[in-house]
Amino acid sequence: MVSVGILLFPGFQMLSLSTSTVFEFANLEVEQPFYRVDLVSEEGGPVKSSMGFAIDTVPFGPYDTVLVVGDNEVLDATPGLLSYLQHAVVKSRRVTSACTGSFHLAAAGLLEGRKATTHWYHARAFRQAYPTVRLEEDRIFTVDGPLWTSAGMTACLDLALALVENDLGAEVSREVARKLVIYHRRAGGQSQFSALLDIDPKSDRVQTALVYARQHLQEELSVERLADVAHLSPRQFSRLFRSETGHTPAKAIERLRIEAARLMLESGDHPIDIIARDTGFGDPERMRRAFLRAFGQPPQMMRRALQLQA
């Protein structure tokens, strides 16, 4: 049995507790108590959340996996918490954090020289406080040896699903995500920022068309095809799309393709022509022009910069 200690402290953010449900459904999926999850704190007993109500906990103890939750204000860790983390990184298989929990890992000295991430809103403060940490502020989660860190808020679910995948395989993780009605586990290298969120469609019809587009980027995505997915005429769809998003359908599809191409650039050594093909640009020159419009530099230059940074 894999023991998981979710570490709480006064003022913790409640959303991090949703990670426990991922482990609960993993147990249901494999039809055995594979995970044992405890909510732990320095003293044990009730611990107040950022909402003001308390959650009961047990005192610090040994765990296979330790998960430090985040908070809304980047609260200072107590000496007892820091000492516990310093011992945990030696005794536990994995020490992980969600959201601003990475500040506590860094304060304990666990992240020095390692890569990590945190909530984008607190990234600048993190860099100033811990300049020796290789902060990757545009990541959903990072893994560096036994240390796993996730970005803010719902990214803790991606982290928990990745831990389940690490233990039980991709199929179990995928089934857990489906049962939790999560679209899919985002890859660790995926940006914290989403083109879909930025485009911000309002109606179900436009959202459905955009989700369809993101799932079929390799294919021809004409206005007629998207309008058919949205159950509208092409003229109605174009008018509704622009009024809701401020973009034409073609411009929005280009942004989705750029996002997918950038992720492929960052997450592997795929040839440029393969990236262009798999993201629907068709040819490298068309993708190059789109990158110049979006980033002011071609994909090859972005790749060289990433390699130098690595």
Tokens of 259: 């996002």
Q: Which two tokens stand for residue 210?
A: 């955009």
Q: What six digits make up the tokens of 288?
A: 């190059």
113: left (phi over 0), alpha (psi -120 to 50) or beta: left
Joined together, the tokens standing for residue 144 give 């560096």
- Residue 156 annotated as catalytic: no
Catalytic residue, candidates 4, 17, 99, 159 = 99
List residues with catalytic annotation: 99
